[in-house]
Structure formats: structure tokens, C-alpha cells
Amino acid sequence: MINKNFNSIFVLLLTLGVTFTSCSDDDDNNDGGDNYDSVTLYASNNSNGNISVYDFESEQNIETKTLITSSTAADGIFYDDDSESVYQVSRSNNSIEGFANIDDLVSGSVLNADFLGTNDMSSPREMAVNGNLFVVADNADADGDDTTADGKLFIYTYSGTSFSLRNVITTDFKLWGITFIGNDLYAVVDATSDLAVFNDFLSNTTDATVSATKRITIEGVVRTHGITYDASSDTLIMTDIGDATNVQDDGGFHIISGFTSKFNAVANGDIMAVAGNQIRVSGSSTFMGNPVDVAYDSENEVIYIAEAGNDGGRILGFSNFSAGGNIAPSFNSALASASAVYLED
């Protein structure tokens, strides 16, 4: 059950928290006007666990609202258009929580979970969805030995009303961001600049320790966290938090267009060079110090970032990224300890 209670304080805070900067779109198809395809961005945070919703009618016409949850910290987030439901990973409850029929709610509405998972995880982060299977990456030490790198992938079956744990895969590296490309699960290797893939991941139906099918290094990345893939443009984007102790200005993201062929061309254990393969956006003008997640709107050519550190946390949008470099965001909204973003178009 969802209570539709309006709270004007949240509306005021969101309104004050959104700022804009102008940018050139000479290299992009997006003109921010009549040709703009409206999209909605959903964001989680580790400050209060509430869900932030940004409705973009254009880059200049944005409506925002906050939906109140019982969680005090949250990470991975996913939206299902058919049921108008949003799901997020509660870090305070160590479970997946789902909320139905949210589209017409006003800012400040208090949500009661309609769909609940079991409290199995220890330090859940990103979530990836394939059909009725929800996979959550857990960043906690898996074997009790903090000198070894490992993590866990929790696979949940969603029945339409609840979640049940199907099985748990233990990995030999630390986890953070994950995304599906078809049936293959791509995972960033936390505390490194590496990217790994588990081919036909969901065929692993029992608890087991599984090694990645392939793992490569992404040149130019210091420490990766966020990842997303857009099938329509074959583009993969990874974030780089840089030095974890610098949360203000050393972050960035890497854009890899034509990703499939470029990834396949790099042998297991080798390096994907920046030159000829990647575009990097970073620098003091970007407001990125600890970019932990990313979503890509390929229709409007906008990249959205959950920035956890800079000035306490932000949601950033970049529409002028084609040349890379130290560029200012076209969208900049304060969100304390932003942790995850999901785009619904």
C-alpha cells in the first residue's frame, strides 16, 4: 500500500537543489527542444534511502520529486514501465525493495514496500535485471580474509509479488557495477581499472565460485565503479573514481563506442588502449570526484552520473561529451551521497 502524502518541504529542497549550466551542442544531435525525447531518471542515495525522480521533458524543462522510503541507505535501482514500479537495493535492510504504481505520486509521498526480498546480503551495490532475475553485486569480503579480493553476486527470482534467493555466485575479485549484455554479465573489478565478463551468466544455477570468462584492463582508468551499456548504439560507459580519498575533482568516465568489436579484439589479460578506442571526460569543471554510477540516454545523447562525493553528492548530466576532456555538465542537481541511477525512456 502506498500513502499519497504531500510534503512541501521536499519540493522546496529539490527545487533549490537543481542548477543548470549552458553548453554547446555543436557536435551533438540533441538540441534540447522539439527533437528532445522525454525521459525519466531514477536515483538512489546513501544519505536517507529515498528515491529521487527527474522527469526530463527537455534539458531545460525538468520536474523533480522525492519518494520517501523506510530505508536509510540504498544503491542499485531499476524501473519497470509496465507496472509503473521502481525497485531499489536497500543497504540498510540488505534486501531488494519494490514499490508499485509510483508514476502519479507527488513529491513527499511515503512508500510502503509492495515487493520484498530476503535479507541475505552484507554490502549490496549495483543491480542488473534480466527477465524475472535480479542480480545484485555485494562488495563485502566473501571469505573472511580481507587480504584476498572476492565478492558475491546474489541472484533473485521475482515472482511478480516477491523475491526469492535462487543462488549465490562467489567471485575472485571485488565487485561494484554490473550490467547485462544479452545473457552475459559484465562487471567492473573494484579497486582496479579492469572489466570482466561472465558469459551466459545465468546458466550458473547453484551456489558456486565462478571465475570470469575474460578480464581486461581499461587504460586510463584508476579505479572503476559504475558501468552501463546501450544496445542501440553498442556503447559501454565506465566511471572512474580516481583516488578514493579525493572525492572532489579527480573522477571521470570513459565512453567506448562500438564496444562489442573493441572488447572482442582485446585478449584475456590484455589492455584496451585509450587511443582509438575510448573517450575520457574528467577534470575540475566536471564536478566529478567520486562518480559511482552512470546511465546513458542515447536518443538525446546525454550521459547521467551519480556523483557521491563532490560537494556532498550530485546528479550530473553531460550532453557535450563527444570530444571528451574537462567539460561542464549541462545538468547539475544536488543529491547527498548519490549512489545509483537508472534511465527509463
Distance in angstroms (rounded) separating the CA atoms of residues 273 and 244:
23
How confident is the model over 176-190, as pLDDT tens digits?
Answer: 999 999 999 999 999
CB 109 within 8 A of CB 4: yes
How confident is the model over 8-43, as pLDDT tens digits?
Answer: 333 333 333 444 433 333 334 455 556 899 999 999
Distance in angstroms (rounded) separating the CA atoms of residues 197 and 216:
9
Question: Residues with Cβ < 8 Å from 302, sequence gap 6 or more?
Answer: 30, 59, 296, 317, 318, 319, 330, 331
Beta-carbon count within 10 A of 104 CB:
8
Topology classification of domain 19-35+74-104+113-335? Neuraminidase (2.120.10)
Nearest to 295 by CA among 27, 61, 41: 41
Distance in angstroms (rounded) separating the CA atoms of residues 129 and 50:
21
pTM: 0.91
pLDDT in tens for each of the 345 residues of the chain?
333 343 333 333 333 344 443 333 333 445 555 689 999 999 999 999 999 999 999 888 999 999 999 999 999 999 999 999 999 999 999 999 999 999 999 999 999 999 999 999 999 999 999 999 999 999 999 999 999 999 999 999 999 999 999 999 999 999 999 999 999 999 999 999 999 999 999 999 999 999 999 999 999 999 999 999 999 999 999 999 999 999 999 999 999 999 999 999 999 999 999 999 999 999 999 999 999 999 999 999 999 999 999 999 999 999 999 999 999 999 999 999 999 999 998
